[in-house]
Structure 1
């Protein structure tokens, strides 16, 4: 059977022609290896959407390649631990002081200073749009000696955890030119990003002067392969060493020793447009909820490699089992042929099939259903603008701060930056504000679950299943990261034996 790793263990530990896609025998600035002399060839799922700007979701690529770093990182339990900041403390109700690590240099040779940290964080805080980790957060930063003071407009108990988001990576001054942020040669991590070929590939070389010790691999050669069949074929043919997000349909074609199922805090959800169209009617949203049979999706589309969702938060968060669930269910109405369009994207191979199955289920319930399927880069803008009546999305629920409150706010607050459901509900907003302001611990978890319940009560989102992302590693890969938060992939210890 394929390896299935528990979350705690994990945290510790377009067809394309494949020939010529991956660098063969490529060498970077470091020709001598610390442990092994072979570069690591990685097939990534999604191409960069914003030229690898850390202020976008591309930041997670920079993090997974160990090239851009943040002030803190998260441990297996989601607690903040030192990274570019050696320590921190809360100085006032609104302010936190971070002491910057000594002896760190950016890839261009300039030193990491408190002023450099302040510049990067200020660029994120003043960006338009802001990184979603800063949704609802008025953040200002001031450098003082070897410390930075991070202040928020309202008391925020999660400032340290927020600082772990890859979207708040600290880069050298050269990266910032007007509104553009270019990470090439500007990070502090174990690998130097030396070249980016648009949306096709990227090259990284070992940072021989990395503050955390030189990496074991001499470099990383990344190719972006949106086509899922091509990604899996790259592993089978030996063209890739590590393959991100192997689709369920391809898993059975690979050697079981090459597969690791990673239980992810990722939920496959049907978002319903609450502002216009058929699903402005709460009773029709309830009718859609009743029509969706998630077990069919798990058994059929995911071949049993997923878990039926009981809520928005899945088994990667064990405490989510304490939820009350929906407490104010609306009575389902009669669709009577109501016309709806469901949108989704091809980048995750299962989603078009999920949408097709939902089309059948909703048609059986009395809806008239059309599908619109594109690549994510070509559909995101329309999804956020409320173009579709419904949208199928695979969504990471603790991606940014390690805390699901940020995800819930982003997706369901009236002013959330990723509010595909176009939801504007006072009860939801109130619950989200309470969750965001509650200190870490049991009380915060209870507040988060109450906010989840408030969202579920609106039927603005129908959680269907929780995914187990499948990662493929060639037999000669040593110590690649299997990270449920999708922040790590190639680390200082990863190499080819």
Structure 2
């Protein structure tokens, strides 16, 4: 581990040690990509690492989503609802995995079955009882309770379909050479690099680029500098402080369904007290954070769901029923966040001052995400600042609210277990897509906000850096796609 940490630090300080020196570029070419976070779970698709596989176009799902969140064909050419509990998906023919085996209904059922047995489960399956059975060229997907969003659920990168050879006897999943996308993952060097080559057997349009050379560079300044120096063609999540230093032609600002939220530990420590949680909420001046830390490149939060979901603001009603604030009286709290997103340590410093001004005594903890997530989930901090995508998985916020705020949620940093919240989330999950579902989602949001277990502060606009030689990289609000078959160098 020490070697890995040292190497990442070297990447941050000496970019030429992480990227190949600039060279004459060939049309198509190999795309050099600087990514924000290194793999946390060995690139298993059952974790958030799945979104790396998706952004590299190496692993694919049965279903995709269009810009409005509607389900569209992927590795499934179509589907139909058999009854309240069952859906049938027709598996696309003529598709091969990168190991040469054929995509079949059996291989799809194998992936989905293994996902349901994974520990921890993929977040998209929180609270879902799901079985998958091969039937000829189709897969029958059955849920324990009626689920109107099964097609959208199966679009989650965490349910990417891999070859049977990916699943090892020890329970680990190896995506190297086992996907179906236009790029084949051929090598991974721990938490430092990954290499992908064009897969000429791809079932769809062949990749225009020859391959992708990925470097994991947690330091945001280093990612931005790599674009300026020509050492990377694409850089994820350029820090706000660096955007002004780049050529405007290389910067794209994308409104994202991402919320910067303060999660308060409701199960242990001072924030078990609702009055102290209310005091923390009243202490926060999000406008100061947006102006001072984000230089105006963010929106002050009115709820958990931001302007990337315009129906949320249109349907939201004034919130009532919150507990009154009580005097903190010097209550000692630990405020934690991670350094991978460059703005978050600055947010922590501003919040520390605001909370201390309100009467709290604050100790701050900042680490790389890979080294703090486990402690955060275990409830070792009183407050945790997280930049969180709210429609990460299904294009629908229910999965996010379910995983983050229900008793059984797998990503419940607030350690919240509230009967009203669970009931509201269950109601939203059971409602058919459309206006009624959106109203139910806002009712669940209100139930969460009423507890003050989570204090949404702002909605981010993620900044992407693209060299002027890059053509057709994706600018995806859901952070699912980045390099596609069409992406290439001039």
| TM tier relative to shorter chain | over 0.9
CA distance in 1, matches of 2:389, 2:222: 24
Secondary structure at the counterpart of residue 401 of structure 2: helix
The Cα of 1:472 is off from its aligned counterpart by 0.2
CA distance in 2, matches of 1:341, 1:360: 13
The Cα of 1:452 is off from its aligned counterpart by 0.1
Give the aligned CA root-mean-square deviation in angstroms.
1.2
Judge conservation of contact 1:311–1:325 (CA < 8 Å) in 2: no
1:492 is matched with 485
Alignment of 1:92-491 (within 5 A): 92-178=83-169, 179-321=171-313, 322-491=315-484
Secondary structure at the counterpart of residue 188 of structure 2: strand
CA distance in 2, matches of 1:144, 1:468: 44
Alignment of 1:7-26 (within 5 A): 14=9, 15-23=12-20
The Cα of 1:325 is off from its aligned counterpart by 4.3
Alignment of 1:46-65 (within 5 A): 46-65=37-56
Judge conservation of contact 1:16–1:225 (CA < 8 Å) in 2: no
Deviations 1:37-74 (Å, cap 9, x if unpaired)? 41100000000011111111100000000000000000
Deviations 1:21-48 (Å, cap 9, x if unpaired)? 224689xxxxxx9xx2411000000000
Alignment of 1:17-96 (within 5 A): 17-23=14-20, 36-96=27-87
Deviations 1:153-202 (Å, cap 9, x if unpaired)? 11100100000000000001110102010000000001000111110000
Judge conservation of contact 1:325–1:453 (CA < 8 Å) in 2: no
2:4 is matched with none
The Cα of 1:98 is off from its aligned counterpart by 0.2
Secondary structure at the counterpart of residue 181 of structure 1: coil
TM-score between both structures, scaled by the size of structure 2: 0.96
Secondary structure at the counterpart of residue 215 of structure 2: strand
Secondary structure at the counterpart of residue 360 of structure 1: helix
Judge conservation of contact 1:86–1:99 (CA < 8 Å) in 2: yes
CA distance in 2, matches of 1:490, 1:230: 21
Judge conservation of contact 2:31–2:213 (CA < 8 Å) in 1: yes
Judge conservation of contact 1:206–1:217 (CA < 8 Å) in 2: yes
Tell me, which stretches of 5 or more residues in structure 1 are unaligned? 1-13, 27-32
Secondary structure at the counterpart of residue 88 of structure 1: strand
Structure 1 residues 465 and 172: CA distance shift in structure 2, 3 A? same
Judge conservation of contact 2:32–2:212 (CA < 8 Å) in 1: yes
Secondary structure at the counterpart of residue 297 of structure 1: helix
Judge conservation of contact 1:325–1:456 (CA < 8 Å) in 2: no
Secondary structure at the counterpart of residue 41 of structure 2: coil
CA distance in 2, matches of 1:482, 1:393: 22
Judge conservation of contact 2:22–2:230 (CA < 8 Å) in 1: no
CA distance in 2, matches of 1:266, 1:326: 21
Tell me, which stretches of 5 or more residues in structure 2 are unaligned? 1-8
Judge conservation of contact 1:341–1:369 (CA < 8 Å) in 2: yes
The runs of 4+ residues in structure 1 deviating greater than 6 Å are none
TM-score between both structures, scaled by the size of structure 1: 0.95
Deviations 1:265-304 (Å, cap 9, x if unpaired)? 0000000111111111101111110000000000000000
Deviations 1:227-286 (Å, cap 9, x if unpaired)? 111111100000000000000011111011110001000000000111111111101111
Secondary structure at the counterpart of residue 41 of structure 1: strand
CA distance in 2, matches of 1:417, 1:370: 26
